[in-house]
């Protein structure tokens, strides 16, 4: 080193420092690129797998393989997806799409084998694994980009080293030139020449450049610290918000579950006594007053079923089609409100242009509740003196007809600008009378679900007042209705029936109804007692309640199927909102009927069972 010139020392010194710093920078940069990209790939794989698992959960639960395959094929359209594989809890393949076979789960991109990152998500039901979704992500292109970035980084570092070497050479030349000037000045001073000014003075450009570089370094370091701090703060805020949203979602789900459970219990407790009353009324005969009481009980039972629309936002249920005499049925709906209107000082009239004995097939429950709500609203909120309910049919071919029901009053009416908004939940307009504000909203949902429409329109005669119109397409049937043709047969005749029911009154009434249909009936108070009957007697049909002590209806159905009983098991439940019907079907029940027991529905269920048995579909 002693024999080296200042120029050589400058080049070597700067080069050594530059190599050290560049090497450290390359290591840090490559590590940062790998870690951030690997974390992004892992997060993307985890998020995609979780979202896809959530998306196909309903299809997996229902074993809808067509939807699963369609969803898998749609996901494979992404170039980053190598395969989609779904297996059930017993590791049986439900769906396998893609050109690659699934490999063991990869924990990190850095430790994976090959260019496919394997991720998985478990679909659980009631806390137990139900199925597993495995997705392979093609990460080869990303790894190639990272490799290219590393190569470019090395290339840039080599170029920078060459530039630094050139700069060091120039810098050494500059410094030695200054030293030569100083040497010349020293020689002149030694020679006694004091006329030439020494060009080298303190605080020259080199020092200022050094200080500028130091200032730049300090500025960059400060900026980097600020960015890291902001990044950590943002990550912390995102994590905090995510936890808050997750907690809020959990609370919402718990609340909805509790609400559904409460509605199920309320529905069960209301329906059970009403079912007793209904069956007792049906045993008494067919007097006109008894018929109207029975109709009101039927309507109250339908109200219990419609609680599902309030319990589940956007909930949907099947529109049950019923065969009725249109003229007679709607008179039964309107007649009870005549006295209610009279007490309020309002005249309620009814007119119809439908023919006598107009047998039709229509969604009776939805139409009945909607019409009931409209009549009640007119009585309570119209402030008028007259209400007219009119009914008309317009045949349109193929045994179809357009049904039009109008409820018209001469009250204060509804401003045109407010007519549509009145169908929103909890909108009550200008009425000062009590009300929940959900009647019109529920009515429209019911009618639209039946394929019809409910609108608020101006009166045709130009008089002020309210006019609500229900339009719905129904089916015209022959004079001998499906209901009559069903009743002509008696599939219960000669059958030995076991009834499992814990309510003593319903036990007696159900037994009486079945015996009148020429069936032999035994009654058990719970599932265990029913099993004991089966140990000594053979039965053709089992009717079981859901909520019973000791052993409920689901457990009874499961036990009977396990013991080889292949006959029809019919569930009779008071629930309309909860999961009772779905649970009964899942545990081996062939059909789930609502309380009170309806012979027409029971005959229909037995006929469907016989048809399936004949075709081998059971």
**CATH number of domain containing 581:** 3.40.50.2300
More confidently predicted of 606 and 556: 556
282 within domain boundaries: no
The predicted pLDDT at position 616 comes to 63
Mean per-residue pLDDT over the chain, rounded: 77
**What pLDDT is attached to residue 559?**
93
Q: Rounded distance, CA 135 to CA 96, Å?
A: 10
pLDDT tens figures, 299-323: 565 555 555 545 543 444 456 777 8
Of 114 and 185, more confident: 114
Residue 190 pLDDT level (bands cut at 50, 70, 90): low
Which of the residue ranges 2-11, 58-67, 318-327, 548-557 would you say has the lowest mean pLDDT? 2-11
Report percent pLDDT > 90 for the chain.
Answer: 12
* Token reading at 169: 């050479």
Q: Who contacts 82 (Cβ-Cβ below 8 Å, separation ≥6)?
A: 98, 99, 100, 116, 136, 137, 138
> CATH number for the domain including 17?
3.30.450.20
Residue 486 scores a pLDDT above 60? no
What does the pLDDT read at residue 443?
81
Does this model's pTM top 0.75? My answer is no
Phi, psi torsion values for 400, nearest 5 degrees: -110, 155
Which residue's entry shows tokens 């297996």?
87
Domain presence at residue 518: yes
Q: Are 497 and 520 in contact (CB under 8 A)?
A: yes
Identify the CATH number of the domain in which residue 352 sits.
3.30.565.10
What secondary structure does DSSP assign to 411-450, as a single string?
Answer: SS---GGGTTGGGSTT--TT--S---S-HHHHHHHHHHHT
Whether 431 and 510 share a structural domain? no
End-to-end CA gap in the chain: 98
325 by Cβ neighbours in 10 Å (0-12 / 13-18 / 19+) ranks as middle
Q: Dig out the tokens for 301 from the structure.
A: 């039972």
Query: Does the pLDDT value for residue 84 go beyond 80?
Result: yes
Cβ atoms of residues 81 and 140 within 8 Å: no
| pLDDT higher than threshold 50 for residue 571 | yes
Contact 393, 358 (CB under 8 A): yes
Residue 285 lies in a domain: no
Tens digit of pLDDT for each residue in 504-554? 878 888 888 899 889 999 999 999 999 999 999 999 999 998 888 899 989
Do the beta carbons of residue 342 and residue 348 sit within 8 Å?
yes
460/352 same-domain check: yes
Residue 314 is predicted with a pLDDT of: 45
Give the model's pLDDT for residue 35. Answer: 84
- Rounded distance, CA 509 to CA 293, Å? 18
Number of domains in the chain: 3
pLDDT at position 579, please? 62
DSSP conformation class of 588:
T
Q: Which of 518, 613, 500 is nearest to 567 (CA)?
A: 613
Q: Report if residue 262 sits inside a domain.
A: no
Q: Hunting for tokens 């779905």 — which residue is that?
A: 582
pLDDT at 429: 59
Residue numbers of the domain that contains 82 = 1-201
10 within a domain of the structure (yes/no):
yes
Q: Within this chain, do residues 41 and 186 fall inside the same structural domain, yes or no? A: yes
- At 96, is the secondary structure helix, strand, or coil? strand
Q: Strand pairing partners for 134?
A: 85, 120
Q: How far apart are CA 419 and CA 454, in angstroms?
A: 11
**pLDDT for 358-416, tens place per residue?**
678 888 888 888 888 889 888 888 888 999 999 888 888 778 888 999 999 988 888 88
More confident residue, 270 or 406: 406
CA distance 297 to 284: 15
Same domain, 506 and 394: no
* Residue 460 and residue 510 in one domain: no
Is-contact 251 481, C-beta < 8 A? no
Largest separation between any pair of C-alpha atoms in the chain:
146
- The last residue of one of the domains, among 176, 201, 226, is 201
Q: Does some domain include residue 239?
A: no
The mean pLDDT of 264-272, rounded to a whole number, is: 56
The fraction of the chain above a pLDDT of 70, given in percent, is 72
Cα 24 to Cα 38: distance, rounded to the nearest angstrom: 21
Is 611 found in the same domain as 537? Answer: yes
Looking at mean pLDDT, say which of 151-165, 228-242, 464-478 comes out highest.
228-242
Q: Final residue of a domain: which of 135, 170, 201?
A: 201
């Amino acid at each position: 080193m002693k024999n080296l010139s200042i120029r050589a020392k400058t080049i070597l010194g700067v080069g050594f420092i530059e190599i050290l710093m560049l090497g450290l920078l390359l290591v840090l940069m490559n590590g940062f690129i790998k870690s951030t990209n690997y974390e992004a790939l892992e997060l993307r794989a985890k998020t995609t797998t979780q979202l896809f698992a959530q998306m196909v959960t309903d299809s997996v639960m229902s074993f809808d393989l067509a939807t699963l395959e369609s969803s898998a094929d749609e996901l494979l359209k992404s170039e980053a997806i190598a395969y989609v594989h779904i297996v059930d809890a017993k590791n049986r393949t439900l769906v396998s799409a893609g050109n690659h076979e699934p490999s063991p789960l990869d924990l990190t991109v850095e430790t994976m084998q090959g260019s496919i990152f394997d991720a998985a998500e478990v679909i659980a039901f009631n806390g137990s694994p139900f199925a597993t979704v495995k997705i392979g992500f093609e990460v080869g292109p990303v790894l190639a980009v990272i490799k290219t970035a590393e190569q470019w980084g090395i290339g840039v570092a080599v170029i920078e080293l060459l530039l630094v070497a050139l700069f060091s050479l120039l810098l050494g030349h500059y410094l030695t030139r200054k030293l030569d000037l100083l040497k010349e000045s020293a020689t002149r001073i030694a020679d006694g020449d004091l006329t030439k000014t020494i060009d080298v003075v303190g605080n020259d450009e080199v020092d200022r450049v050094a200080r500028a570089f130091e200032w730049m370094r300090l500025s960059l370091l400060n900026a980097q610290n600020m960015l890291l701090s902001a990044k950590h703060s943002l990550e912390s805020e995102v994590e905090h918000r995510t936890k808050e949203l997750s907690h809020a979602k959990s609370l919402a789900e718990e609340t909805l579950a509790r609400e559904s459970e409460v509605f199920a219990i309320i529905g069960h407790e209301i329906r059970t006594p009403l079912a007793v009353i209904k069956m007792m009324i049906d045993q008494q005969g067919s007097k006109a007053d008894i018929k109207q009481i029975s109709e009101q009980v039927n309507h109250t039972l339908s109200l219990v079923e419609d609680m599902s629309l309030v319990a589940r936002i956007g909930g949907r249920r099947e529109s049950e089609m019923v065969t009725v005499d249109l003229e007679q049925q709607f008179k039964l709906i309107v007649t009870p409100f005549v006295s209610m209107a009279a007490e309020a000082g309002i005249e309620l009239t009814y007119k119809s242009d439908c023919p006598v004995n107009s047998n039709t097939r229509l969604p009776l429950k939805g139409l009945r509740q909607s019409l009931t709500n409209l009549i009640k609203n007119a009585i309570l909120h119209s402030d008028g003196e007259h209400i007219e309910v009119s009914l008309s049919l317009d045949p349109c071919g193929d045994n179809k007809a357009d049904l039009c029901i109008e409820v018209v009053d001469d009250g204060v009416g509804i401003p045109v600008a407010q007519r549509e908004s009145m169908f929103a939940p909890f909108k009550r307009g200008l009425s000062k009378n009590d009300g929940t504000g959900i009647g019109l909203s529920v009515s429209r949902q019911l009618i639209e679900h039946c394929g019809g429409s409910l609108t608020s329109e101006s009166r045709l005669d130009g008089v002020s007042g309210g006019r609500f119109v229900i339009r719905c397409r129904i089916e015209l049937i022959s004079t001998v209705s499906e209901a009559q043709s069903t009743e002509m047969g008696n599939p219960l005749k000669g059958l030995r029936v076991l009834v499992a029911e814990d309510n003593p009154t319903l036990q007696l009434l159900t037994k009486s109804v079945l015996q009148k249909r020429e069936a032999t009936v035994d009654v058990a108070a719970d599932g265990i007692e029913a099993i004991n009957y089966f140990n000594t007697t053979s039965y053709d049909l089992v009717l079981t309640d859901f909520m019973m002590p000791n052993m409920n209806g689901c457990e009874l159905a499961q036990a009977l199927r396990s013991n080889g009983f292949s006959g029809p098991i019919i569930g009779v439940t008071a629930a309309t909102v909860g999961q009772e019907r779905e649970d009964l079907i899942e545990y081996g029940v062939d059909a789930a009927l609502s309380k009170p027991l309806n012979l027409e529905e029971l005959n229909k269920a037995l006929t469907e069972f016989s048809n399936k048995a004949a075709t081998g579909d059971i």
